[in-house]
A and B are shown apart, each in its own frame.
Chain A
């Protein structure tokens, strides 16, 4: 996520420079909440005040909300299908592994 944001706001649009990007990451990580959303708030505020914040936050959040809503609304109907249930039987232990891996990675940074 962060390399993507960096490429867009630093390299392509030149909205903030490298040093300010690093400051932004430090702030976005120190503040509670999603790092992508926190970064969006910072950049929006820098560029255009509260109007900028509205624009960047909507931009950061809308794709997620729209795609997930589509999946949530339509997918619920397919969940009872045996083929879909089989896929999720394989996915569930992998999800637990992702969370367990996050624990190990965080332990290294404590």
Chain B
């Protein structure tokens, strides 16, 4: 029964996963917490490891959650397969009609309106997921708030430079390093080790 609901949950994540890695992470989070497969903290730890491991972060997260939820290698392979199954169905259909597809299909008015609605929905979904993760277990003291604020600032640095009309600063190597997720994860890990170790 656990395997059936795991499979169905990840097929659902695969089908609704519009908008890249973070959207997928948020969808997985909703499923994980709704089924009570693990706590918020355990899930956050999985996301941290998924970020630092090579490969698509959504895939890493699916594999890891599949293992943790079931405690078996089969569970993790099942979740990994389930999350790419919708991709296979949709992309193979798209590929089959690709040559007959209008070159300007993405300029279609209805298509653009629908995608806009999808993007708005995804923003709310990810925002809700982020908010759910703000708990006394993830934010244990004032240092947590400092780490959160600095990481958020660094992540948004390139966008802020661009908005401020400073494209050269936005693509500066230092800015790129500071806003790289793996660098930020490593810095946060080091901070944790120094502060609490």
- Please report A residues at the B interface, Cβ cutoff 8 Å: 1, 26-38, 41-42, 45-46, 53, 57, 60-61, 63-65, 67-69, 71-73, 75, 79, 82-83, 85-110
Q: List 28 A-B contacts (CB under 8 A).
A: A1-B56, A28-B91, A30-B115, A32-B17, A33-B84, A35-B20, A38-B87, A41-B87, A53-B88, A61-B84, A64-B56, A67-B54, A68-B64, A68-B67, A71-B53, A72-B63, A83-B193, A88-B192, A90-B143, A93-B147, A93-B151, A94-B48, A94-B188, A96-B139, A97-B148, A99-B25, A107-B123, A110-B123
Q: Name the one of A28, A34, A93 contacting B84, with C-beta atoms under 8 angstroms.
A: A34
Closest residue of chain B to A85, judged by CB? B196
Contact present for B123 and A103 (CB under 8 Å): yes
Contact present for B55 and A45 (CB under 8 Å): no
Contact present for A65 and B122 (CB under 8 Å): no
Contact present for A64 and B191 (CB under 8 Å): no
Contact present for B84 and A86 (CB under 8 Å): no
Q: Name the one of B44, B83, B149 contacting A95, with C-beta atoms under 8 angstroms.
A: B44
Contact present for B197 and A82 (CB under 8 Å): yes
In this assembly, does B119 line the interface, its C-beta being within 8 Å of a C-beta of chain A? yes
Contact present for A38 and B91 (CB under 8 Å): yes
B121 → chain A closest CB, angstroms: 10
Given pairs A32-B87, A110-B123, 19 additional interface contacts (CB within 8 A): A41-B88, A41-B95, A42-B94, A46-B95, A64-B56, A65-B63, A86-B193, A89-B192, A92-B41, A93-B188, A94-B148, A94-B187, A97-B151, A97-B152, A97-B155, A99-B126, A99-B129, A99-B130, A101-B155
CB contacts (< 8 Å) of A73 on chain B: these are: 67, 73
Q: A32-B16, A90-B196 are in contact. Are A67 and B87 (CB under 8 A)?
A: no
Contact present for B126 and A33 (CB under 8 Å): no
Contact present for A32 and B86 (CB under 8 Å): yes
Contact present for A101 and B152 (CB under 8 Å): yes
CB contacts (< 8 Å) of A75 on chain B: these are: 49
Contact present for B188 and A27 (CB under 8 Å): no
A35 → chain B closest CB, angstroms: 6
Closest residue of chain A to B157, judged by CB? A101
CB contacts (< 8 Å) of A109 on chain B: these are: 119
Q: Give me the 6 closest cross-chain CB pairs, A-B, nearest first.
A: A90-B192, A64-B55, A33-B87, A94-B188, A101-B155, A97-B151
B175 → chain A closest CB, angstroms: 14
Q: CA A37 – CA B8 in complex, angstroms?
A: 19
Contact present for A90 and B147 (CB under 8 Å): yes
B107 → chain A closest CB, angstroms: 10
Closest residue of chain A to B87, judged by CB? A33
Q: CA A50 – CA B90 in complex, angstroms?
A: 14
